[in-house]
Structure 1
Amino acid sequence: MSADATNSTPPGPVAAAPRRRTRPRLDLRRLGRAALLGPTSRDRLPDAIGHVVEAHRAHFPDADLEPLRRAYVLAESSHRGQKRKSGEPYITHPLAVTLILAELGAETTTLTASLLHDTVEDTEVTLDQVGEEFGAEVRYLVDGVTKLEKVDYGAAAEPETFRKMLVATGNDVRVMSIKLADRLHNMRTLGVMRPEKQARIARVTRDVLIPLAERLGVQALKTELEDLVFAVLHPEEYARTRELIAENAARPHDPLAEVAELVRQVLREAGIAAEVLVRPRHVLSVHRVARKRGRLRGCDFGRLLVLVNEDADCYAVLGELHTCMTPVVSEFKDFIAVPKFNLYQSLHTAVAHPRAGDEASGDSDVQVVEVLIRTHRMHKVAEAGVVALGNPYAAGADEQPGGDGERADPTRPGWLSRLLAWQREAPDPDTFWSTLREDLAQDHEITVFRPDGASLGLPEGASCIDAAYAQYGEDAHAAIGARVNGRLAALGTVLKDGDTVELLMGQDPAAAPSRAWLEHARTPTARIAIQRWLAAHPAAADDTPRSKAAARTPQNALSAHGEVRPAPHKAASTAPAHGRDHGRPAPADAVVVDRPHTAVRLAGCCTPVPPDRITAFVVRNGAVTVHRVECPTAARMQAAGRTEAGVRWGDAAEFRVTLLAESFGRPRLLADLTEAIAREGVEIVSATVAPPAQQRVHHTYTLQLPDAARLPALMRAMRDVPGVYDVRRAQAPAPQHGS
């Protein structure tokens, strides 16, 4: 936006880029001469803004043009004497930017700010003067697009300027509308720059401005920017694609025109009022289709656009096309019922078109014609995006101040709110700049739901880790797992559009993220929070076991701080195995059986304790084993005809029990579990930990209870340990059929 930034008449491939315009490009030399005539009387608008006024009145016939007149007078007098590198008066640049916005349907306030958008940056005009003359909104928009000085910020000036602009956009999306139009005109006039500077500007446009245009739904600017960038960065491929377009245009038969006429006839007969247009693809779009399909045919160079008056008419058109022509079912998409995240609405379909055609051209076979169906208003929004929404602060619009004094913009989309959230946490300009490009490279969005019905917008490929940080911020360090659509899932699980996600959070105030989480974090919010914690705790960050503990599929999920490390292929145990478990002798007076002087054992398979209902069977050597009534082993022994013995609980206090615990893997889990058990006054006889699978860990504890009545309280205490989602009594496997 600086006074010497660009040239108005570029040589080379950029000048050849196609334009979708309602009128020929302005004669900037004539415009410059008109501008130099200076301000006119209040009774007459300056000739130099005639094109802007004409375009503006097409959208707003009753607009008050006085602000535009005064803005032009101030801009022209302030920039007088400044030249672009082409030699044109500098005022031609804000005029061209304002015309772009006027043709898109921007309202008067945006156009006023656009005329003034470089005055504060490049002239002696101050923001206070702009505010006094034109009001707070115009002042805010001009400030939003004013670059930060390199003398103050050095190499950080560009990323910090974009950060400032994005924050301003969060309050008012019109800031970014002006910036996009400004970049479009600069890209149109880029040819005078050195090749290396052209390439640098084109790359920033590709990585930042084009994705922002896509997200704000301003397709008219996005597609032209794409072609201009394509011409600079890939001139040979650009030239070849232009040749293909020219060759197709020279063909005697246009299959798209034939299908368009056929569609018009079908809709006339059905009584549906519709406008059917052939919509040529822009250069980069043709290049992409060529790479995807190889040989291009006539119908690949464009699509049909059907415009109707009402939403219901869109579906009526679709029905007629699918009835009278052969639809390609896989190509149907309904973006009316489910709009895209950038406000875009349309029906997409494709139909097969058999034609005799031109044998020499290779177009005699069946071709597929893509069709877009939308209302006139949908088309306006599809082309102009947020620009078409007008002034969100006009009378009747909600204007609610935020908690920090910022205005609440009803047009702010979810992706922008997320971007504003993470940019505050970016520690330095380099991190912000690289993260911004990564974030904008993710060009699809999904919506997931919390159990309470609230929604979270996330980029495609996001995981439960991303959902946790989106919902809880840095408190997500304590995340231990999730339920996705009601089923337990690892934190690294990739979410799909429409999933319901319940985050399971631990209570440990010292909870920490793992470096392994970075492998599954897709959002800047999550990545920056994790990286900041790791940078602040280098010792923990270098702790390999800790890092592995929270990975998506950890191999040593519990091996932190001296805890038990499970072997790769067998269960880890704090006590050696001793062969088949036949139980242990019952404590004295614990169990009373109807066979005096008989050895009594409590079965190890179900470890019964009072007040369990119990049964007993005589085993070899005349001993009696006591089982819980519901134990599968007891059922198997009964089915085998084993001799039963009468049994009841006695008066002894101490009992042994086996509990199974299920948890998500995390550091210090065993330590926390054993501490919880110890607090209940219970002795751990043995503990085994199975190898983790999908971040879930299975534990088996054999415990000595001083009082069987403490069992319910013990199980509750174990369940309260962060990460533990189930604790139950051990039970032998169910008997196999035929055993």
Structure 2
Amino acid sequence: MSAEATNPVSAAEAAITDTGVRRRGRARLDLRRIGRAALLGATAGPAPRDRLPDAISHVAEAHRAHHPDADLSVLRRAYVLAESSHRGQFRKSGEPYITHPLAVTLILAELGAETTTLTASLLHDTVEDTEVTLDQVRREFGDEVAYLVDGVTKVEKIDYGAAAEPETFRKMLVATGDDVRVMSIKLADRLHNMRTLGVMRPEKQARIAKVTRDVLIPLAERLGVQALKTELEDLVFAILHPEEYETTRALIAGPAGTGSTDALAAAAEQVAAVLREADIAADVLVRPRHFVSVHRARLKRGELRGCDFGRLLVLVAEDADCYAVLGELHTCFTPLISEFKDFIAAPKFNLYQSLHTAIAAPDGAVAEVLIRTHRMHKVAEAGVVALGSPHATTPDSTAPDAADPSEGFETAGDGERTDPTRPGWLARLLDWQQSAPDADTFWNSLHADLAEDREITVFRADGGTLGLPAGATCVDAAYAQHGEAAHGCLGARVNGRLAPLSTPLSDGDTVQLLLAQDTGSGPSPAWLDHARTPAARIAITAWLQAHPEAAHQPAAAPRPQLSVAADRNSRAELHADLDGGPPAPVRPAGCCTPVPPDEITGFRVRGGAVTAHRTGCPAVDTMRRLGRTAVPVRWGDAAHCRVTLVAESFGRPGLLADLTEAIATAGAEVVSATVEPPNEQRVRHTYTLELLDAAELPRLMRAMRDVPGVYDVGRTHGL
């Protein structure tokens, strides 16, 4: 990382004026103080054992703000080792190299990282860049710190532009997956290097910025570390899009941007007054948008007005208070319903929870409002960094009134939290890398997922939710919910309606996946055309590679129409009551195939015969409109009958054989059968069947519905 060392004050950093800038301004002052303290430490020797060195005092202050009872002695020992091992090394800016691990540690301390993470952060370059060995770190600081330092060291060896990138990145994720704090340290490291990128050659600045944009910013987003993600976005924006950046900077610094302070403050006071009157304890804050957010808002809305430059943040104590605040705002102001989103009931994949709404004040100004608890806010800002060690049974000591970051997470039977530092996306990422057949497949799938900047939430039929990228289909939902069991997915119901697996899903849809009962079925190669998520693409590809005979079958070739027929003359006995005449022959109409005990109506047809229709058959109404006179018909004593049934199913090998076996087992005989060519993986079967007892028809239809792949069986309903 010494190769990326640069001037601590870049032009991009100096221009940013939002809340993040104030944080960075403080960091610059600290950085200069760190440099002076480090130089003095190099000549004056270490601080007495009973106090912290001056250079690390600001880290201790930030750490104690989140963890007032933390043991700082280990930080002192880590700093002493790091400072002595890096002594004599300098960054390109001329500052002592120790200023870099100190700055990275400060970033993590301000986000609320626990002591072990900060210890590893201070030491994260020692094994790579000094004579310190991993065994030495292990002896002095324990296995956990050594594991983190080793993981960061492996990450630092990645050349993001090298041909070996996929496999190297995959190996890094293996280490990260066991302890996500490795990635937390890496993100803080990249943020400090981006802050100090000014002395690099422009082409190297652009290369580093592009990697940050394509890989690390999406990772920060998915790990929920919004504080790092937004600052990285602004720094990348300034390097890769300097003209747009300058336009945005001028807009924020101009009359519209400076006037936004008063507009947002007025809106905040109105909201605070409403909540005070409702006796709801809440903090109402103004959150200025960062540069990239302002730029996106300008592209979306055109000219920006006062409240467009920021949002209101309402912080409360409990989840229920969030909804109380929402009710008051929607009662006292005019809400923009299209802007409402509930990420509390359905949290985002990266642990983010908030209520989003927008309200219009009496003067017409529209303000966006975020409503969350203090705990939600901590997780929203720091993501996995705020969640602590994945190995601890209890979080680090916190202030008595501080929110417990483990609150709200499930607990395993042995009392340990069930992996709180692995949000849904990261857990899925680890599954992908384990099941991917090769590194390139994993890398391509990961890049596709990182490129998605919007997520939808769909509801499962069992009451759960699935977070999927925009454009995801039922195929993606199947693998997200069922994993490899989705190989046997036959179809889906979307919002209660049957839908093919290729159906795209929208935010708020309800999806029910229909799975085959047998375990031998597998995905079609055509599924890859509809899969958007790495989980689906990797699982399908792996199955097809393991079953090459399926992968090389011609896709979706239309099947010829299949018909089988048998000569059967026995039918349920029918009688026509004709005044004074001889019995006429009576036969059931082929359009609705009535069987006992259906209510029936007869009509004379050519040749003097009578056809019997079910009373609800559309042909009955047609006959009457044509002026045909109905003939009374009734069932005789014979119970055997002929009926035509239509089975709707999803296509799969062996389906026809399974259906005919179910029909035979139910005691019916096939008179004729027609199988139509498949359409969107669905197949329609029409059977004319002979039953010895009409009372067995409901049982026969149930038996046919129980065949895997069949989702509906019904009788024909007429012409």
The bucket for the TM-score relative to the shorter chain is: 0.7 to 0.9
The structural deviation recorded for 1:178 is: 1.4
Q: One-letter code of the match for 1:526?
A: A
CA–CA separation in structure 2 for the residues paired with 1:523 and 1:163 = 17
Q: Provide, for residues 602-638 of structure 1, a one-character-per-residue CA deviation record: whole Å limited to 9, x for no partner.
A: 5433446789898877655444556678877689889
CA displacement, residues 545-578 of structure 1 (integer Å, 9 cap, x when unaligned) = xx337xxxxxx4xx2xxx43xxxxxxxx7489xx
For the structure 1 residues 593 and 151, does the alpha-carbon distance in structure 2 shift closer, same or farther, using more than 3 Å as the test? closer
Of 414, 426, 429, the residue aligned with 2:436 is: 426
SS where residue 154 of structure 2 aligns? coil
- Alignment match of 1:416 (pick from 416, 426, 435): 426
Question: Alpha carbons of 1:89 and 1:257: their partners in 2 closer, same or farther (altered >3 Å)?
Answer: same
Q: Deviations over 1:152-205 (max 9, x none)?
A: 999465444543444444443323221211110111122333433332322222
Q: What is the deviation of 1:97?
A: 0.3
- Rounded to whole Å, the distance in 2 between the matches of 1:446 and 1:148 is 31
- Quote the Cα distance in structure 1 between the aligned partners of 2:288 and 2:684: 61
> Residue 109 of structure 2 aligns to a residue in which SS?
helix
Aligned to 1:478: 488
Tell me which amino acid in the other structure corresponds to 2:8. T
- What is the aligned partner in structure 2 of residue 244 from structure 1? 251
Give 1:504 shift. 1.8
Preserved contact between residue 672 and residue 687 of structure 2 (Cα < 8 Å): yes
- State the distance in 1 between where 2:229 and 2:572 align: 85
Question: Deviation string for 1:346-377 (max 9, x for gaps)?
Answer: 4545455688xxxxxxxxxx543444455555
When residues 479 and 349 of structure 1 are mapped into structure 2, their CA distance, relative to the original with a 3 A threshold, is closer
2:686 equivalent among 673, 691, 700:
700
Counterpart of 1:290 in 2: which secondary structure?
helix
Partner of 1:361: none
Q: After the TM superposition, which residues 647-686 of structure 1 pair with which residues of structure 2 at under 5 Å, given as runs?
A: 648=636, 657-666=643-652, 669-670=655-656, 673=659, 686=672
User: Which deviates the most, 227-236 or 697-706?
Assistant: 697-706
Determine whether 1:9 maps to 2:8. Answer: yes
Aligned to 1:303: 311
- C-alpha contact 1:220 1:383 (8 A) present in aligned 2: yes
Over 3 Å counting, the alpha-carbon distance change for 1:500 and 1:301 in structure 2 is closer
Q: Are residues 197 and 668 of structure 1, via their aligned partners in 2, closer, same or farther at CA, if it must alter by over 3 Å? A: farther
Q: CA deviation at 1:111?
A: 0.7
- Verify the 8 A CA contact 1:449 1:501 in the aligned structure 2: yes
User: Alignment partner of 2:492: what SS?
Assistant: strand
Q: Specify the SS of the correspondent of 1:423.
A: helix
Distance 1:377 1:688, change over 3 A: closer
CA RMSD of aligned residues (A): 4.5
Matches within 5 A, 1:46-65: 46-65=53-72
Amino acid at match of 1:417: A
Residue 387 of structure 1 aligns with which residue?
385
> Which amino acid is the alignment partner of residue 296 of structure 1?
L
The range that moved more, 681-690 or 216-225, is 681-690
Q: Is 1:114 aligned with 2:141?
A: no
Counterpart mapping for 1:257-656 below 5 A: 259=266, 262-263=269-270, 266=273, 270=277, 277-307=285-315, 328=336, 330-333=338-341, 335=343, 339-352=347-360, 367-374=365-372, 376-391=374-389, 393-394=391-392, 396=394, 408-497=418-507, 499-507=509-517, 509-537=519-547, 540-544=550-554, 547-548=555-556, 556=558, 559=559, 563-564=560-561, 574=563, 586-587=569-570, 601=587, 603-607=589-593, 620-623=606-609, 625=611, 641-644=629-632, 648=636
| CA distance in 1 between partners of 2:656 and 2:573 (Å) | 31
Q: Note if contact 1:585-1:600 (Cα within 8 Å) is conserved in structure 2.
A: no
Query: Is the aligned partner of 1:210 residue 2:209?
Result: no
On the 8 A contact 1:165/1:176 being kept in 2, the answer is no
Distance 2:390 2:597 in 1: 69
SS of match in other structure, 2:636: strand
How much does 1:425 deviate? Answer: 1.6
Q: Deviations over 1:75-126 (max 9, x none)?
A: 2233334333334332221111001111222221111111111223333433
Distance 1:103 1:7, change over 3 A: same
> What SS class does the counterpart of residue 95 from structure 2 fall into?
coil
1:263-306 Cα offsets, whole Å, 9 max, x none, are: 49846974777655443322212211222222233443333445
Query: Could you tell me which residue of structure 1 aligns to residue 401 of structure 2?
Result: none
TM-score, normalised via structure 2 length: 0.81
How many Å apart are 1:692 and its aligned residue? Answer: 5.5
Stretches of structure 1 that go unaligned for 5 or more consecutive residues are 356-365, 550-555, 565-572, 577-582, 734-739
Residue of 39, 57, 65 corresponding to 2:46: 39
Question: SS in structure 2 opposite 1:30?
Answer: helix
Q: Distance in 1 between matches of 2:214 and 2:99?
A: 27
- TM-score (normalised: structure 1): 0.79
CA distance in 1 between partners of 2:464 and 2:658 (Å) = 33
Counterpart of 2:231 in structure 1: which amino acid? E
Between the two proteins, the alignment pairs up a number of residues equal to 691
> How big is each residue's C-alpha offset from its partner over 1:21-50, in whole Å with a ceiling of 9 and x where there is no partner?
172511164254145345334223222212
Conservation of the 8 A alpha-carbon contact between 1:150 and 1:157: no
- The amino acid that maps onto 2:684 is H
Displacement of 1:71 in angstroms is 0.8
What displacement does 1:395 show?
Answer: 5.3
Cα distance change, pair 199–669 in 1 and its aligned pair in 2 (3 A): farther
For residue 481 of structure 1, give the secondary structure of its aligned residue in structure 2: strand
2:712 paired with 1:726: yes
**How far does residue 519 in structure 1 lie from its aligned partner after superposition?**
3.0
Structure-1 residue corresponding to 2:403: none
CA gap of 1:542–1:197, structure 2 versus 1, over 3 A, is farther
1:634–1:585 Cα change, 3 Å: farther
Runs of 5+ unmatched residues, structure 2: 396-405
Match of 1:187 among 186, 194, 209: 194
Cα offset, 1:534, TM superposition? 3.5
C-alpha displacement of 1:507: 4.2
Please give the alpha-carbon distance, in whole angstroms, between the structure 2 residues aligned to 1:430 and 1:675. 45
Over the matched positions of the two proteins, sequence identity in percent amounts to: 69
